[in-house]
Amino acid sequence: SAVVIAVSSPHRKVAYEANEYAIERIKRIVPIWKKEFWEDGTMWVGDQLENTPYSEGKPKKEE
């Protein structure tokens, strides 16, 4: 599977921050993210177990 995120911004740093926010958000809400399959069973690994939100709930805005 793949994830495609497209953003537009006059400055590269803001675009990177938006992409980072989007992928981290997806990792927290998509239940199949980082599910490992083994011969003897499955195991969840990654941030969905800890679910630490952004301090402000969204990426910082450029001023």
Q: Give the model confidence (pLDDT) of 30-53 as tens digits.
A: 765 567 888 998 877 765 555 555
Cβ atoms < 10 Å from Cβ of 47: 12
| Nearest partner of 18 among 35, 6, 29, 2, judged by Cα | 6
- Note if the pTM is more than 0.75: no
Q: What is the mean pLDDT of residues 11-18?
A: 93
What is the spatial distance between Cα 23 and Cα 10, in angstroms, rounded to a whole number?
A: 20
- Helix-strand-coil split of the chain, %, nearest 5: 35, 15, 55
